[in-house]
Structure 1
Amino acid sequence: MSPPRTEIRTDRLVLRPTFATDAERAFEIQSDWEVTRMLRMASFPADRQATLDWFADHEREWSAGEAYRFAVEVAGRMVGLVDVDEIKDGEGDLGYWLDRAAWGRGYAFEAANAVVRFAFGEIGLSMLKSGHAADNPASGRVLAKLGFVPVDIVERFSRPRGETIRQCRYVLASACR
């Protein structure tokens, strides 16, 4: 059974389950090339209808235990998203992206740390995986600070870039937290 759709509060952030109405703000954030080029599966330019369709499915995903997606809010404004998806056999993938104006303030670590605790404590996962583009060392620093351990570097297709990139992959076991 999935945990209830409830918000998580940190010192500076409110993480709340996403709603379909968050799609427009997400579209705005992902219309910035500097944000979207770091994502593996997003399209660029951002596709409004695909974003609307994706957000419309978030509540169903939560209820089905397939994915838990949180809007990251600062002072009542959505500045990004952090989620755990691709959940299977006690494992899931941690992902996050933020508006460029929110970069460099520690929000990614703060939000991801709260969702890691949620994943292990509320969902009961035993392992999280994550990764980042090799040319995004800031994301690697967030994962290292969270306690993720590097596993390997692989070639993966980046949809927004339209080319193969090097992706650094990591894992974090619940026993390590």
Structure 2
Amino acid sequence: MSQETQPKSGHDGPYPAPVIVGGLTVDSGWIDYNGHMNVGYYGVAFDQALEAMLDDHLGLGETYVRTAGHGPYILQSHLHFTRELLEGAGYAIHYWLVDTDAKRLHYYAEMFAEEDGALCATQEVLVLNVSQTTGRSAPFPGWAQARLARMAAEHENPDLAARLGAPLGIRRNS
């Protein structure tokens, strides 16, 4: 398969800022013994919504992998939990594309409870485009680089800077 395959999904913009993937529901199988969504399923929830965003807007989801022989691989992910979600709760995820280059994209996402709009979790991720043939990084095709550049420009938001790259550690009062 040629990596320069023309896009089979997504669109060339404009892109809403943020891109919102809504109408999602906490699955009963995601509930742990504490009675709320298990920590691991927050990652699943973000990933499933990311797939929809990548395919519907950028054309870089499952359709891209099948037609171009390349796909997005998550290299690093940071999750922050701010409020629990219970079984059957509705939620939406908001995505901002923070940065991109020929092979990578950096996004930030927030998960909101549909019931009251409360922030439940955030995720910051670095994604790499990988050839399914070689298993190595490869540049996105030209059409994808153009879409990513446009989305990054349309998502530029100085207010996000304070939310990115949060350190992990025990904070002590002196």
**TM-score (norm: length of structure 1):** 0.27
The structure whose Rg is larger is 2
**TM-score (norm: length of structure 2):** 0.27
